[in-house]
Structure 1
Amino acid sequence: MFAAVLDTCVLWPSLQRDFLLSMAVEGLYRPLWSEVILDELEFHEAAKLERRGHFPAAAQAASARLVGTMREYFDDALVTGWEPLEGTFSLPDPDDEHVVAAAVVGGAGVIVTDNRKDFPRERVPARIQVISPAEFAADTVSVSPAAAARAVEMLSARLVRPPMTIDEILEQLVVRYGMNDAVALLRDRE
């Protein structure tokens, strides 16, 4: 199965994360991440919840639950043994080395990130593409629009606070995340 490393910046926006991971549940790809990515996600998710008015302990508990659920659902997503490669890619931001190292060790064909400038083409192994979440979503939906539609249906059924219809989810994927091509592919099958 095709594997993709999802950078922290891709996992932090809730609806985007839920959409991408719902497509993984449908078997459209295999998500990968490092322990560092999960630690960063837990930290940033807790900070986001605190900014939204949650008490620090509640925010920490919720972010830990999120990461725990991801570990449980995707028990083969955690890439280990990447540490010896860290620092060998000469990336502009040394803090991003773990992402490329995890992609290499995990056998990923893609790194999905909003920070493409931090992953210059000449610094990333040739077999690994670096693409935006919108590009990745379109490519993934195109593999099986029917499976991707099931992913959106599952996502709509899970969302309760606030509830969102399928159309509302698709609209937000366009407006907030620029996933025009992915949504067009989903709407074309209606």
Structure 2
Amino acid sequence: MNHVADRFVVILDANVLYPFRMKDALLRFCEAGLFRARWSEHILNEWKRALLSRRPEFEESINSQITAMGTAFPEACVTGYEDIIESIKLPDPDGRHVVAAAIRAGAEHIITENLKDFPADCISRYGIEAVSADDFLASTFELYPGPGCCPSLMESVPISTPSANRIRRTLH
């Protein structure tokens, strides 16, 4: 079976893993074969730190989620990118590890809510574009609507997001 995912790789930044509904939607789209999700241990640790700073009582749950993600997507964790971090120039050097992981993974997109941290003039030379999660979900659905997966994917998209409205328009 030839899925869009056979050639479409993205890096999920830590900030798109935080609202649970957004993480769930992205992972469901990935599971449906619409793209291949990648992240790094550094990204997962950043996500974990952000969650724990708000809800320290959820540490066990967060650890379980990280384990479940690794089990469900064993190929998703990118390694071997550390040696190129220093060569990447960004306005915020804290984002260099994300770009380095994207380069190593052969990703076309970084899915992030911090678009300003990944300006096109800095990352396009690597063949990478930063895209918001909302725009990515809507564009992916439009690219490959797959009639068999529509209902379950629609359930996963947060109701109040622009992508949900775009997807609903595609279905009608």
TM-score, with length taken from structure 2: 0.86
Question: One-letter code of the match for 2:114?
Answer: N
Counterpart in the other structure of 1:159: none
Deviation per CA, 1:143-179: give whole Å up to 9, x if none.
Answer: 32235525426xxxxxxxxxxxx4xx65xx242x432
Counterpart in the other structure of 1:133: 133
Counterpart in the other structure of 2:63: 64
Deviation per CA, 1:71-98: give whole Å up to 9, x if none.
Answer: 1111001110100110212111111101
Question: One-letter code of the match for 2:19?
Answer: P
**2:153 is the counterpart of 1:152:** yes
**CA distance 1:188–1:124, shift in 2 (3 Å):** closer
Counterpart in the other structure of 2:123: 124
| Paired residues of 1:19 and 1:151 also in contact (CA < 8 A) | no
Counterpart in the other structure of 1:162: none
- Structure 1 Cα separation of the partners of residues 28 and 54 of structure 2: 22
SS of aligned partner of 1:130: strand
**2:48 is the counterpart of 1:45:** no
SS of aligned partner of 2:87: coil
Deviates more, 1:118-127 or 1:72-81: 118-127
- Structure 2 Cα separation of the partners of residues 147 and 103 of structure 1: 30
**CA distance 1:137–1:83, shift in 2 (3 Å):** same
- Structure 1 Cα separation of the partners of residues 92 and 45 of structure 2: 18
Shift of 1:189: 2.4
Q: Which runs of 5+ in 2 are unaligned?
A: 1-5
Counterpart in the other structure of 1:18: 24
**2:10 is the counterpart of 1:7:** no
| Paired residues of 2:142 and 2:170 also in contact (CA < 8 A) | no
**CA distance 1:92–1:188, shift in 2 (3 Å):** closer
TM-score, with length taken from structure 1: 0.78
Q: Which runs of 4+ in 1 moved over 6 A?
A: none
- Structure 1 Cα separation of the partners of residues 28 and 148 of structure 2: 10
Aligned residues: 164
Deviation per CA, 1:35-72: give whole Å up to 9, x if none.
Answer: 1001112222333434xxxxx3xx11000001111111
| Aligned counterpart in structure 2 of residue 178 of structure 1, from 147, 158, 162 | 162
**CA distance 1:147–1:17, shift in 2 (3 Å):** farther
Q: Which runs of 5+ in 1 are unaligned?
A: 51-55, 154-165
**CA distance 1:15–1:107, shift in 2 (3 Å):** same
Overall identity of the aligned pairs, in %: 32
SS of aligned partner of 2:130: strand
**CA distance 1:184–1:123, shift in 2 (3 Å):** closer
Tell which structure's C-alpha radius of gyration is larger: 1
